[in-house]
Amino acid sequence: MPAEDILEPDLPIIDPHHHLWDLRPLLAVFPQPYHPFIAALVDAAYYTFDQLHADTHTGHNVIGTVFMECGAFYDAARDDATKSVGEVEFVNGVAAQGASGIYGNYRPCASIVGHADLRLGAAAGDVLDALMAASSRFVGIRHAGAWDSDPETLGPPFHHPEELYRDSAFREGFAELGKRGLTFDAWVLEPQLGDVIDLARTFPDQTIVLDHCGTPLNIGRWKGTLGDHFGRWRDNIRALAECPNVSVKLGGLAMAFCMMPEKGPAAGIGSETLAEMWRPYIETCIEAFGPARAMFESNYPVDRWGASYPVLWNAFKRITAGASDMEKRQLYAGTAAKVYRLEHLLDAG
């Protein structure tokens, strides 16, 4: 399929959700045949600064990015509670590369979302302090809670405890975020959205970001049921949007968990087809949260399965073709800048 022309190439973008990692040593220990999610990552097993730089310089005006924790480059010399500091230290070095100015005004990893195990309760505060000390770019954490009764839905690496966000020890640790003005990214599967709603209502002053449109499921026992559960998903998205402390990330739909599309980019799927596939979910989220609490994300390199980086953003831009200039500024950069403390990137632009 020929390369697509870049739509709205001057529109500033802050990509608020991507990873950096080296999964090659881990692939050897994952059971084969690979879970579909792992299989989709084989070609993206190594993704660091050079790969990110290449993707973000394919025609769209990406002015900055936010790194999202992914368990990469933990410090083996630290104890279990604080070894995640190594990930922030690594990413801070990548951010320093971008801040050097060698690559122009582009600022990769300008904010960093790390990880702390909130099940430590109040002791999680010490881990948060260590993360804050590791980088001034550290702004918050993600503690994923994705769970399904069928372990094959997620596969071995991503199976978290059931009802994690309702656990009392977790919530004791969660309270430590607010004391430090830190953000929280929530990754759950669609049937778990009620857990995020309850968490947001219990902590109304805590900034929470829902990842990946709430991860609609189209894998394993959920295969072929997207339409059956769309209404439940929509109702929960609307309920969550009633919590003013919550924002939503628009993306992640190309993950193997969602399977939109079921075949990867080698099948030659263009941005027009992807836009129509994703439109019901993205438009529902924007309608519920409004542009001021919604932000487009690449979820790269995970969503490479569904689209190349330029095609992915073209698909988003097709969905928002009728939006006003102000709405586009919020959806593509403004909301991310507000949530992740990157207003200075907009000022510089």
Q: For residue 122, what are the contacts with CB-CB under 8 A and spacing of at least 6?
A: 172, 173, 176
> What total number of domains does the chain contain?
1
349 has pLDDT over 70:
no
Q: Look up the CATH number of the domain holding residue 246.
A: 3.20.20.140
Per the structure, the complete domain to which residue 81 belongs is given by 12-348
According to the model, what pLDDT value does residue 249 have?
Answer: 99
Token pair, residue 283, equals 């438009």
For the segment 100-136, what is each residue's pLDDT rounded down to a tens digit?
999 999 999 999 999 999 999 999 999 999 999 999 9
* DSSP assignments along 179-226, one per residue: HTT-EEEE---GGGHHHHHHHHHHSTTS-EEE-GGG----SGGGTT-H
Q: Is residue 62 part of a domain?
A: yes
For the segment 188-239, what is each residue's pLDDT rounded down to a tens digit?
999 999 999 999 999 999 999 999 999 999 998 999 999 999 999 999 999 9
28 has pLDDT over 90:
no
Q: What is the pTM of this model?
A: 0.97
Q: Is residue 116 part of a domain?
A: yes
Cis status, amide bond into 261, omega within 30 of 0: yes
Q: Compute, in degrees rounded to 10, the torsion defined by CA atoms 111, 112, 118, 121.
A: -60
Closest by CA position to 165, among listed 143, 209, 125, 195: 195
Q: Is residue 21 part of a domain?
A: yes
1 pLDDT band, cuts 50/70/90, is low
Q: Is residue 4 part of a domain?
A: no
Q: Is residue 6 part of a domain?
A: no
The percentage of the chain sitting over the pLDDT mark of 90, rounded to a whole number, equals 87
Q: Is residue 7 part of a domain?
A: no
31 has pLDDT over 90:
no
For the segment 76-85, what is each residue's pLDDT rounded down to a tens digit?
999 999 999 9
Q: Is residue 309 part of a domain?
A: yes
Helix, strand, coil fractions of the chain, as percent rounded to 5: 50, 15, 40
Other Cβ atoms closer than 10 A to 294: 24
Q: Is residue 1 part of a domain?
A: no
Sign of the CA dihedral with 186 first, then 189, 195, and 201 last: positive
